[in-house]
Amino acid sequence: MKKIEMKTPLVEIDGDEMTRILWKMIKDELILPFVDLKSEYYDLSLPNRDDTDDKVTVESAEAIKRLGVGVKCATITPNEDRMKEYSLKKKWKSPNGTIRAILDGTVFRTPILTPSVKPSVRSWKKPITIARHAYGDIYKAVEIRVPEKGKAELLFTSLSGQETREVIYDFECPGVLMGQYNKDSSISSFAHSCFSFALDTNQDLWFSTKDTISKKYDETFKLTFQDIYETFYKEKFAEQRIKYFYTLIDDAVARVIRSEGGFVWALKNYDGDVMSDMVSTAFGSLAMMTSVLSSPDGCYEYEAAHGTVTRHYYRYLKGEETSTNPMATIFAWTGALRKRGELDGIDSLIGFADNMEKAALATIEDGVMTGDLVSLIEGGRTVSGKEVKKVNSAQFLSEIRKRYEAMA
């Protein structure tokens, strides 16, 4: 079989732990036998980020801006325990946060649905896409450990020298302090991305914050969305008979649980981080969630929505067999290759991505799956009546390859 040729490289960003192991397995089993892969490789493993003083993370983001498409493996954001485990120079910031700040995009996360894996929320019948603002807020915050009594103030000094000052709190004892920010330009691009995505996918758009409490910060998000909707999208939404809906985040959570799905839920950075994990788990598994970062200038970064699967990695290092679900990482690769094909006009590359995803889903529906999915199948049989069989990660990838080759 002749390999599919690429015109423009994509940015390949390697990561950590079990997902790094799966990354190579997926490439060797599902990508390289069929695609003459062109990529610029960046190693974002925690040891290499430490060795390069995290410059490699910035370089990978700049490469995505230059080439337009990237695919990223899951990475570790170190805490105190990880600093000791890896003997790090410092607690490096989240690489995802760094990349998202440079690209200034919106993260769209959508569950991978298969008939035999039923959502935990019985009313959900259609996917719920989380649109997460991927800039600023707590991920670029500055923090202070307050050591003693004292006054904390918020100070802004304009270029003209004018000062705006607010007292945050008069500390009567030690405590903690955090300052975070966002930009009008980024909030606007977030809103435009969400409205455009809703139109492209013909789905209602929900947006939620807590503007009753955060009367300037969250209210700025709310008013920006409303203004952009009224100015640019209201008529288009009416033409497609879809709706834009704003409500407080606590009310939105209640509505989401009672809904049947089938909409885009736009959220601020931290809210989107939390709710995407909740939605993906409720739909079946964290490993069954696609994630794409879309920037205002037309750049895309695809990744799995889950972490590095540390527990499985430690078992792997002991030589134990693991049954780690690679679906989200497979879909990250297919998403990136499909987008590369769309941008470069390579229909065969688009077809490869489509068929590989069909083969992966068919494998599950044939009853062959990893351990996390086995426990979710009611009665031990798929919708088509196939008996469920638990396999390890390598066997699962091999089964997907067999079904893909049968399509060719």
- Burial (CB count <10 Å: 0-12, 13-18, 19+), residue 364: buried
The verdict on 243 and 268 lying in the same domain is yes
* Angstrom distance (rounded) from CA 408 to CA 172: 71
The verdict on 198 and 265 lying in the same domain is yes
The verdict on 165 and 235 lying in the same domain is no
The verdict on 134 and 218 lying in the same domain is yes
The verdict on 133 and 255 lying in the same domain is yes
Q: Is 242 helix (H, G, I), strand (E, B) or coil?
A: coil
C-beta atoms surrounding 312 within 10 Å: 21
The verdict on 157 and 226 lying in the same domain is no
The verdict on 155 and 277 lying in the same domain is no
The verdict on 128 and 221 lying in the same domain is yes
The verdict on 136 and 146 lying in the same domain is no
Q: For residue 228, which of 178, 184, 273 has the smallest C-alpha distance?
A: 184
The verdict on 130 and 253 lying in the same domain is yes
Q: Of 267, 283, 299, which residue sits at a domain end?
A: 283
Residue 136 located in a structural domain: yes
What are all long-range contacts of 62-68, with beta carbons under 8 Å and residues at least 24 apart?
62/102, 63/11, 64/11, 64/99, 64/103, 64/299, 64/300, 64/301, 65/102, 65/103, 65/295, 65/297, 65/299, 67/8, 67/9, 67/10, 67/11, 67/40, 68/8, 68/298, 68/299, 68/300, 68/340, 68/343
Radius of gyration of the chain (CA): 22
* Angstrom distance (rounded) from CA 38 to CA 306: 26
Q: For residue 146, which of 182, 181, 173 has the smallest C-alpha distance?
A: 173
Residue 210 located in a structural domain: yes
Instruction: State how far the alpha carbon of 172 is from the alpha carbons of 79, 166, 167, 299, in Å.
Output: 29, 18, 14, 48
Q: Of 229, 264, 283, which residue sits at a domain end?
A: 283
Residue 223 located in a structural domain: yes
User: pLDDT means per 10 residues in the chain (408 residues)?
Assistant: 95 97 98 98 97 98 98 96 94 91 90 91 94 90 96 97 97 98 95 93 97 97 98 97 98 97 97 92 88 90 93 95 96 98 98 98 96 88 90 97 94
What are all long-range contacts of 60-65, with beta carbons under 8 Å and residues at least 24 apart?
60/11, 60/13, 60/99, 61/98, 61/99, 61/102, 61/103, 62/102, 63/11, 64/11, 64/99, 64/103, 64/299, 64/300, 64/301, 65/102, 65/103, 65/295, 65/297, 65/299
403 near 362, Cβ under 8 Å?
Answer: yes
The verdict on 167 and 215 lying in the same domain is no
Give the per-residue pLDDT at 140.
86
Residue 232 located in a structural domain: yes
Q: Is 312 helix (H, G, I), strand (E, B) or coil?
A: helix
Residue 189 located in a structural domain: yes
**Which pTM does this prediction carry?**
0.89
Q: Of 127, 151, 179, which residue sits at a domain end?
A: 179
Residue 33 located in a structural domain: no
The verdict on 169 and 266 lying in the same domain is no
Task: Identify the domain containing residue 151 by its residue range.
Answer: 142-179
Residue 161 located in a structural domain: yes
How many domains, in total, are found in the chain? 2
* Residue 122 token pair: 């019985």
Residue 86 located in a structural domain: no
